[in-house]
């Protein structure tokens, strides 16, 4: 299972690192710690995707991360502490990926189309993400609340800007919260309905799905 999670704080500056065997840059102690923690987070998403939170044991996580079990406790006091950190940290990075993809979009419909493409790309690379989010409501409720609050607030800010700019026609400001939930849900359910699991990994929904979504969103937001 392939998992790719952004980690802007863990990228070592290769130009300042002495090369290790094989030509790869050698990380210093601080960079190694950040890299190990990131690997544990990535592995946890993959393990939860396959086994659920209940089956996400420290041994499975560290084995997939390529680390010794004892290394786990250098970064997390318990498995539950890891679960409580997982969604807020990884979720923020996923939202940042989408934010970068839509930067400079001229209007809301274009922004929403770009966001959908970025979300489909991320979800295809991280097939364990959906299960991680859904099961966290029970397994890590505080983490779920933090993540969803941040996600909803960011999306609402985007809708509010579009509303003030005249991109959303015929809605009151309180109704924007309904649009937030509808549009966010559509991303997930369209991916689940049209993504394709292939031998070489998960493939996101085909282009016609995005085009149909754009057509529908255009009619929804412009009246």
Higher pLDDT, 89 or 10: 89
Give the whole-angstrom CA distance, residue 135 versus residue 125. Answer: 19
Mean pLDDT of 175-186: 94
Give the model confidence (pLDDT) of 112-132 as tens digits. 999 999 999 999 999 899 999
Give the model confidence (pLDDT) of 31-59 as tens digits. 889 999 999 999 999 999 999 999 999 99
Give the model confidence (pLDDT) of 125-161 as tens digits. 998 999 999 999 999 999 999 999 999 999 999 999 9
Q: What percent of the chain has pLDDT over 90?
A: 70
Looking at residue 198, its pLDDT comes to 81
Looking at residue 137, its pLDDT comes to 95
Under the banding of pLDDT at 50, 70 and 90, the label for residue 27 is: confident
Under the banding of pLDDT at 50, 70 and 90, the label for residue 6 is: very low
Assign domain 14-222 to its CATH superfamily.
Tetracycline Repressor, domain 2 (1.10.357.10)
Looking at residue 3, its pLDDT comes to 41
Query: Which DSSP letter does residue 25 get?
Result: B
Task: Output the six-digit token pair for 50.
Answer: 């396959």
Mean pLDDT of 66-77: 95
Q: Which of 14-18, 183-187, 192-196 has the lowest mean pLDDT?
A: 14-18
Looking at residue 22, its pLDDT comes to 54
Looking at residue 54, its pLDDT comes to 96
Give the whole-angstrom CA distance, residue 56 versus residue 46. Answer: 9
User: For the chain, what are the domain ranges?
Assistant: 14-222
Token look-up 């999306």 returns 155
Q: What is the DSSP string of 100-118?
A: HHHTT-SSHHHHHHHHHHH
Give the whole-angstrom CA distance, residue 177 versus residue 171. Answer: 11
Token look-up 């070592």 returns 12
Does residue 164 sit in helix, strand or coil? helix
Q: What is the value of pTM for the model shown?
A: 0.80
Looking at residue 1, its pLDDT comes to 38
Neighbours of 157 (CB within 10 A): 12
């Amino acid at each position: 299972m392939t998992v790719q999670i952004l980690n802007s704080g863990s990228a070592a500056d290769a130009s300042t690192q002495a090369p290790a065997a094989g030509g790869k840059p050698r990380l210093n102690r601080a960079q190694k710690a950040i890299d190990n923690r990131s690997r544990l987070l990535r592995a946890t998403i993959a393990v939860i995707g396959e086994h659920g939170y209940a089956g996400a044991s420290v041994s499975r996580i560290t084995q997939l991360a390529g680390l010794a079990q004892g290394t786990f406790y250098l970064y997390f006091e318990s498995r539950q502490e890891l679960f409580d950190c997982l969604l807020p940290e990884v979720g923020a990075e996923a939202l940042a990926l989408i934010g970068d993809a839509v930067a400079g979009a001229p209007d809301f419909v274009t922004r929403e189309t770009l966001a959908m493409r970025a979300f489909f790309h991320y979800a295809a690379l991280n097939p364990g993400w959906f299960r991680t989010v859904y099961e966290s409501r029970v397994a890590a409720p505080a983490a779920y609340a933090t993540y969803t609050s941040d996600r909803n607030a960011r999306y609402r800010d985007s809708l509010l800007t579009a509303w003030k700019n005249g991109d959303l026609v015929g809605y009151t400001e309180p109704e924007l919260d309904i649009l937030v939930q509808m549009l966010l849900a559509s991303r997930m359910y369209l991916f689940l309905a049209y993504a394709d699991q292939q031998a070489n990994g998960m493939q996101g929904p085909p282009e016609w799905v995005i085009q149909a979504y754009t057509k529908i969103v255009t009619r929804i937001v412009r009246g």
